[in-house]
Chain A
Amino acid sequence: MVAIVDYGVGNLFSLRSSLAAIGEEAVVTGDAARLRAADRLILPGVGAFGDAAARLRQSGLDQALLEEARSGKPLLGICLGMQLLLQRSFEYGTHQGLGLIAGSVVPIAPAIPPDYKVPHIGWNALDFPSRRSLHPLFRGLRPGGCVYFVHSYYAAGCESNTIATTEYGADLTAAIALENVCGVQFHPEKSGGLGLTILKNFCKL
C-alpha cells in the first residue's frame, strides 16, 4: 500500500486518482503510524518551501519520514515534495529541508536567459544523463518524452544524484535519486500515460 503524505499542502485529488487508475491501493494520511505501516511513501506538495517545511516539522511527520526513508522504504517526492528532500531552500529566506539528498533549492530566473518566462509551466522533455544507466523510475521511457512542469525554483548542487534533467534555457534538474529516496520536479499525476508509467515504476521499487 502507498501512503500519500497529507500535511495540508496541495491538492491530492489527482495523485490519489492516478494511483487508483494504475490499480494501486493508496491512503492519504497525516498520521505517522499509518505512514510507518505503508509499503511506500509519496510526499507531494505545492506552494512555498518555508511554509511546507514548517508544517512537516509541526506535525512531527518529518521525523517519521526520515526514519522510514533511512530504514529503506521507497519514498517519492513530487514537485515541492522533491525539493523538501534536499538540505535547504533559498525561497524567501533560508529554510532547512529533510536533507535526505545533498543539494539546495534555488530560483530558476538567474539560471536562464531573461526572455524565458518564470514559472516554468508546461510540457517539457526529459533528458537522461548519458554517464549513468537509466534509473528504474524511468524504465520503459524513451528520451524526449514530455512531462508537465510547474515551478519557479529548482534543485541545484545535486548533480551526482540527478537522474533526469530538462532543458529550459539551461539544464534544470527534473529528477533525483539516492538509493530508496527519489524525487521528481514535474507532476507525474498530470503527465498523461507517461506519468502513470513513472508512478507504476515507483510502485515496483
Chain B
Amino acid sequence: MITKRIIPCLDVKDGRVVKGVNFLGLTDVSSPVKLAEFYSRSGADELVFYDITASAEGRALFTGILTEVASTIFIPLTVGGGINTLEDFGRVLGCGADKVSVNSGALRDPSLITAAAKRYGSQCVVLSVDAKRLAGQFRVFAKGGREDTGLDAIDWVRRGVSAGAGEIVLNSIDADGVKGGFDLELLAAVCDAVNVPVIASGGAGCPEDFVRLFQTLPKVDAGLAASIFHFGEVPIPDLKRTLRAEGINVRL
C-alpha cells in the first residue's frame, strides 16, 4: 500500500534556509545541505526547496547548493521559486532536481505548464498554489502571497491539471505560520476537483494536525511543513510513529 509522504520544505535565500511566519519576518535557520542530510536520515520522504532569492548571485548560489544536496541525498527533490521559463526547468533539473514547482510563472503564462509537461513529463511538473479566503471564495495569490490574482483557486487547480501538472502543492495563506492545523476545507475542495496527488501545506503545528489531515481527507497524499521541523518541535521519526499508531500508512 502506498504511504503518506512527509515533506519538509526549505526556503532558501542567499544560501541559507529561512522560514517566514505569514510570509513576513524571515528568520535564519540553518545550512540547506546540513538540514537536508538531517531530514533524509530522519525519514523525510521528499524535500522541497524554494529559492526565494531575487538576485542572479543568489540564484547561482542556489544551484550550487542544489547540486551538493542532490549529490549526497537520494530521495526525491522538488525545486521551486523563480521558475518562469522552460530554461528554468532545465537549469534545476540539470542540478539534480526531480520535480519542478511552478507558481507565479504559471499564473503569468499558463502554457508553461503544458510546455514543461511535454518536454519533461507531467510527473515532473508540480503546480504550487497559494490560496486565501476572500469574498466568499478561495482566491489565488501570486508573488509569495502579496498579489491577488482574482482567480478562483479550485478553477485554477483544475486548469493546471488539465494543462499537464502532475501534482499540486496547496498552500493556505490563512493557515500558514499560525500552527492551527491544515486548511481542511480548502484541501477537501481541491481533492474533489482533481485526481492527481495533492500535497497539503500551511498550518501544521503538531503531529495531531497530520493525523487529522490524513484521517479526514484520505485523498491527500502528503503533508508539507517547514518551521516545526526546522526548530525540532516535531521530529519526523516521532511524527511517523504517531501516524503509524493511528493506522496511517507511512514509511518507517
Which of A's residues lie within 8 Å of B, judged by CB? 11, 13-14, 17-18, 20-21, 46-47, 117-125, 146, 148, 150, 167-168, 189-193, 195-196
- The stretch that binds A, out of B92-100, B129-137, B149-157, B202-210, is B92-100
In the assembled complex, the CB of B105 is this many whole angstroms from the nearest CB of chain A, namely: 20
Per-position binary interface string of chain B over residues 191-213, scored 1 when its CB falls under 8 Å from any chain A CB and 0 otherwise: 00001110000000000000000
Q: Quick check: A192 and B40 within 8 Å, CB to CB?
A: yes
- Residue of A18, A119, A124 near B166 (CB, 8 A) is A119
List A contacts of B2 (CB < 8 A).
120, 122-124, 168
Which of B's residues lie within 8 Å of A, judged by CB? 1-3, 5, 40, 45, 70-72, 74-76, 93-96, 98, 121-123, 166-167, 195-197, 221-222, 251
Looking at chain A's contact residues, is the secondary structure mostly helix, strand, loop, or mixed? mixed
Complex CA–CA separation, A148 to B73 (angstroms): 14
In the assembled complex, the CB of A24 is this many whole angstroms from the nearest CB of chain B, namely: 14
In the assembled complex, the CB of A6 is this many whole angstroms from the nearest CB of chain B, namely: 14
Complex CA–CA separation, A119 to B195 (angstroms): 10
List A contacts of B197 (CB < 8 A).
117, 121-122
In the assembled complex, the CB of B15 is this many whole angstroms from the nearest CB of chain A, namely: 20
Smallest Cβ-Cβ distance to A188: which chain B residue = B74
Given A117-B197, A168-B2, CB of A20 within 8 Å of CB of B93: no
Given A14-B98, A121-B197, A124-B1, CB of A21 within 8 Å of CB of B123: no
Q: Quick check: B94 and A191 within 8 Å, CB to CB?
A: no
Smallest Cβ-Cβ distance to A47: which chain B residue = B121
- Residue of A120, A146, A189 near B251 (CB, 8 A) is A146
Looking at chain B's contact residues, is the secondary structure mostly helix, strand, loop, or mixed? loop
Q: Quick check: B251 and A11 within 8 Å, CB to CB?
A: no
Complex CA–CA separation, A46 to B97 (angstroms): 14
Q: Quick check: A190 and B98 within 8 Å, CB to CB?
A: yes
In the assembled complex, the CB of A84 is this many whole angstroms from the nearest CB of chain B, namely: 16
Which residue among B5, B74, B196 has the maximum number of chain A CB atoms within 10 Å of its CB? Answer: B74
Complex CA–CA separation, A193 to B37 (angstroms): 12
- Residue of B3, B71, B75, B98 near A11 (CB, 8 A) is B98
Q: Quick check: B95 and A13 within 8 Å, CB to CB?
A: yes
A-B contact pairs, 13 of them (CB 8 A): A13-B94, A13-B95, A17-B72, A21-B71, A117-B196, A119-B123, A119-B166, A122-B221, A123-B45, A146-B3, A148-B76, A190-B76, A191-B75
Complex CA–CA separation, A149 to B251 (angstroms): 13
Complex CA–CA separation, A150 to B126 (angstroms): 14
In the assembled complex, the CB of B139 is this many whole angstroms from the nearest CB of chain A, namely: 26
In the assembled complex, the CB of A169 is this many whole angstroms from the nearest CB of chain B, namely: 9
Q: Quick check: B75 and A148 within 8 Å, CB to CB?
A: yes
Smallest Cβ-Cβ distance to A148: which chain B residue = B76
Complex CA–CA separation, A189 to B196 (angstroms): 24
In the assembled complex, the CB of A58 is this many whole angstroms from the nearest CB of chain B, namely: 19
Q: A117-B221, A119-B122 are in contact. List 12 more A-B contacts (CB 8 A).
A: A13-B94, A13-B95, A14-B70, A14-B98, A121-B166, A121-B221, A122-B2, A122-B3, A122-B222, A124-B1, A125-B1, A193-B74
Given A119-B166, A122-B3, A122-B5, CB of A13 within 8 Å of CB of B74: no
In the assembled complex, the CB of B77 is this many whole angstroms from the nearest CB of chain A, namely: 8
The 6 closest A-B pairs by CB, nearest first: A146-B251, A13-B96, A17-B71, A123-B251, A123-B3, A124-B2
List B contacts of A168 (CB < 8 A).
1-2
Q: Quick check: A190 and B75 within 8 Å, CB to CB?
A: yes
List A contacts of B76 (CB < 8 A).
148, 190
Smallest Cβ-Cβ distance to A116: which chain B residue = B2
Complex CA–CA separation, A167 to B1 (angstroms): 5
Q: Quick check: B74 and A195 within 8 Å, CB to CB?
A: yes
In the assembled complex, the CB of A127 is this many whole angstroms from the nearest CB of chain B, namely: 10
- Residue of A20, A117, A124, A191 near B195 (CB, 8 A) is A117
List B contacts of A196 (CB < 8 A).
74
List B contacts of A13 (CB < 8 A).
70, 94-96
Q: Quick check: B5 and A17 within 8 Å, CB to CB?
A: no
Smallest Cβ-Cβ distance to B124: which chain A residue = A46
List B contacts of A193 (CB < 8 A).
74
Given A117-B196, A117-B197, A122-B197, CB of A14 within 8 Å of CB of B1: no
